[in-house]
A and B are shown apart, each in its own frame.
Chain A
Amino acid sequence: MIHYNKFTLANGLRVVVHEDHTTPMAVLNVLYDVGARDENPGQTGFAHLFEHLMFGGSVNIPEYDEPLQMAGGENNAYTTSDLTNYYIQLPAENIETAFWLESDRMLSLAFSEKSLDVQRKVVSEEFKEHYINKPYGDVWHKMRELAYNTHPYRWMTIGKELSHIENAQLEDVKAFFFKFYRPVNAILSVAGNVTVEQVKTLAEKWFGDIPSGEKYTRSLPVEPPQDASHKLEVKANVPLDALYKCYHMYPRSDKRYYAADLISDILGGGSSSRLHQVLVKEKKLFSNIDCYHFGSLDAGLLTIEGKLVKGVKMKDAEKAIQTELEKLQGEIIADRELQKVKNRVESLLAFEDMSLLNRANNLAFYELLGDAGLMNKEFENYEVVTAEDIHREAQLLFDEKNANTIYYYAENQG
């Protein structure tokens, strides 16, 4: 049970506070309700590039990192398809430094041409390092385009292509900032050795006078149900054949999300999971196989991916996966196996809550979902899932019409 208090400033900034007096540290986390899904299709990768620019100095503070390091702090940020999150961890005595820094960059960035110029290059190198210069690095780029026709999940957070990043202009940066990076579109969470009163005073002092901004109302194109399976063959300079299958699942706030999440764990969670046990250990068709999803806020993809043992035919590997999926569609799962995946969730949540940083991140995340208090009810959502729910959702999820498959072949390999 994570205790918290929350309040909203007059300008619309939502604030969540979690007191923990067993630690000497504090975390300040700012979540902005904007991600790659909110980008213009001709300017993909912008939300993430923007995240880099947030470190290039703000209107009153030329250097973001230096004063923070001087206060003994560390920081980082991440951008997903759904949101952008910034966090600082520092000795609790110096928490005001975090308020000062984060509020100034919410007030306004410095918008420096030099920073944009350098970060375009840095992000291009990040793109190369993770998506071009790695075997199988392009697969998510291809899979998103295969699986989505209309929803902006069809491009990756890093961007659809390098040119989109290279062409970003300072005017676009300014417009993006004043549209999305406003108090009314942000959630501040503070955790650690602080008090609610202290956070109230500091939040009011540093964030209180920032103009509210206009509430961003999201209206993204909805991906219609898929009515035929999609397949793509790829040949590339990789050492092993690989198989990727993705099935459209449910939005994060849909009750059925929890059944789908448990299904991914039945198939791919831990060494005793079905796909690992049957396909890697017994049938020896794959050298590794995983089942996962990204927990996206809009309807995401439940993914099965594996590398084939040399000499195994793609057709046979795919058929063996199919057999496992059909088992889940045909037979009701045993109580013990269902209990196993629920126990795994219980444990995972407990270990996640150990870190102060996770608690701060999660409180902001659940507040974005609608209420920070949902964080404490999460396990109940899993507990109520029945074997029949798993059976029913497996039938819907693994309908062949809902499948997107990439056959990734090694070219020039013996």
Chain B
Amino acid sequence: MNRTIPPPIKDAVEFDIKLKPYEKFTLDNGIPVYVIKSEEQDTLQLELIFPAGSWYESESLEAAATNFLMKNGTSKRTALEINEAIDYHGAYLNRNAYHENATFTLHCLTKHTEVLLPVLQDVILDPVFPEEELQLYKQNQKQKLAVNLQKCDFVANRFIDKYLFGEFHPYGRVSSMMAYDALQTETLHAFYQKHYTYNNCRIFVAGNMPANMLELLNKHFGSTRWNGETSHTRLDLPVQPAEEKKFRIFNDENGVQGAIRIARPFPNRYHPDFPKMLVLNTILGGYFGSRLMSNIREEKGYTYGIYSQLYNFRQVSAINIQTEAGRDVCEATIEEVYKELQRLQNEAVPQEELDLVRNYMIGSILGDLDGAFQLIQRWKNLILNDLDENYFYNNIQTIKSVTAEELQHLAKQYLTPGDFYELVVI
């Protein structure tokens, strides 16, 4: 046996990736329910999603605080009673507020679904925002922020988004002690009533559902027009990018590493360049074998890891290259990043590397579609962005067919070092 010869492989382009369709139901009050069923396990994921993210705030942190405190007391149950009910059944009720949406996600064993839904109903339809809970939230969040502000990576993430979008845009706005202090139960309650309405709600279910799932959902979320109707049109907000391009910040004089961020705005996912940029970004810094990792970690040893990412924000995206590097090699790292950008501009990506990246990306998508929870995640991203499976298949097609010339053209347009913000936080 000759071990130097690799076994034959099936190539990415030969994989016929199919996005398994969801089932859609509508509750009596019109709430859409998207379902991916799977009977292989005894577990269920149920998610309620509202356009109630930071985009809709009039005061900083309103969206996050509202979302967090909804679980901390209703007119019938205290926070402890809610937590007890969830924990007793080995369930998890996570809530999150993002830029656009706010979510409540229940994970439980299928057999406990029925007893947990009344608790979830209470949290969504009847939160009371107890004053004491808000005070505790403020205190504990401020303590957490104080610790985070000592971390160079956390500080760098805040600044780079501010440079890209401006501090008044929801994408660039950051938390602060003052903003926590200013929170009030009345404004949270008002935010809740305005945004957590039945006609703002979408439900995503994955996994093994009890046979009467729809009946249960109708009973708890579908029978009334709770919180009335919200109508809003979502308009883009003005961004105010920084004029300066280069920033050096000293956060900790004894820091042994610097957090480096090199970023520029990029059109959003609706732009025709976006799918191609996903491929170019992967080549640059989107996987372990990327140009940035190979050069700056595996060749020079300047860092434990360096990545580039494409933001998934709705209005406008950005390309962001990030790493924590040794304090004395920060400037050398930045220089190497620019060399890699220019190399993508000046030389076409070799065919072998492009084939490798195609295969890697397709393999990765295949793995990501494995299981009901993963599938619903894919669908959710499409549905929440008003897209359908054609968008998904178009991306796959781009991965399979984009040419080296197209990528070089894209690099010339978007990867010019001078167009990037450059930040080091030590």
A133 with B303: in contact, given A23-B370, A70-B355, A271-B83 (CB under 8 Å)?
Answer: no
Q: Do the beta carbons of A100 and B147 come within 8 Å of each other?
A: no
Q: Do the beta carbons of B109 and A240 come within 8 Å of each other?
A: no
B311: A residues at CB distance < 8 A: none
Instruction: Give bound CA distance, A107 to B93, whole Å.
Output: 47
Instruction: Give bound CA distance, A307 to B146, whole Å.
Output: 12
Q: Do the beta carbons of A238 and B256 come within 8 Å of each other?
A: no
Q: Give the number of A-B contacts (CB < 8 Å).
A: 206
A336: B residues at CB distance < 8 A: 88
B228: A residues at CB distance < 8 A: none
A271 with B87: in contact, given A22-B40, A72-B364, A307-B143 (CB under 8 Å)?
Answer: yes
Q: Do the beta carbons of B370 and A25 come within 8 Å of each other?
A: yes
Instruction: Give bound CA distance, A240 to B143, whole Å.
Output: 8
A66 with B356: in contact, given A97-B9, A107-B3, A354-B371 (CB under 8 Å)?
Answer: yes
Q: Do the beta carbons of B255 and A60 come within 8 Å of each other?
A: no
CB 8 Å contact bits of A263-285 with B (1 = contact, 0 = none): 00000011111000100110010
Instruction: Give bound CA distance, A238 to B146, whole Å.
Output: 9
Across the two chains, which residue of chain B brings its CB closest to A271?
A: B83
Q: Is A175 an interface residue (CB 8 A)?
A: no
A344: B residues at CB distance < 8 A: 87, 90
A61 with B3: in contact, given A71-B359, A97-B9 (CB under 8 Å)?
Answer: yes
Across the two chains, which residue of chain B brings its CB closest to A122?
A: B301
Q: Do the beta carbons of B139 and A287 come within 8 Å of each other?
A: yes
Instruction: Give bound CA distance, A69 to B286, whole Å.
Output: 12
Q: Do the beta carbons of B325 and A125 come within 8 Å of each other?
A: yes
Quick one: which of B346-362 are within 8 Å of A by CB? 355-357, 359-360, 362
Instruction: Give bound CA distance, A139 to B304, whole Å.
Output: 21
Give 16 A-B pairs besides A61-B6, A343-B88, A347-B89 with Cβ atoms closer than 8 angstroms.
Answer: A25-B367, A69-B289, A71-B9, A74-B288, A118-B299, A119-B301, A132-B256, A133-B324, A205-B1, A239-B146, A272-B86, A287-B139, A343-B90, A344-B90, A347-B91, A347-B109
In the complex, 26 of the A-B residue pairs with CB atoms within 8 angstroms, ordered by the A residue number, are A23-B370, A24-B366, A25-B367, A59-B3, A70-B355, A72-B362, A74-B360, A94-B10, A103-B3, A125-B257, A125-B301, A125-B303, A125-B304, A125-B324, A125-B326, A133-B257, A135-B147, A237-B252, A270-B86, A270-B87, A273-B87, A287-B143, A288-B140, A288-B144, A309-B139, A354-B371
Chain A residues engaging chain B, CB cutoff 8 angstroms: 22-25, 59-61, 65-67, 69-74, 89-91, 93-94, 96-97, 99-100, 103-104, 107, 117-126, 128-129, 132-136, 205, 209, 237-240, 269-273, 277, 280-281, 284, 287-288, 307, 309-310, 336, 339-340, 343-348, 350-351, 353-356
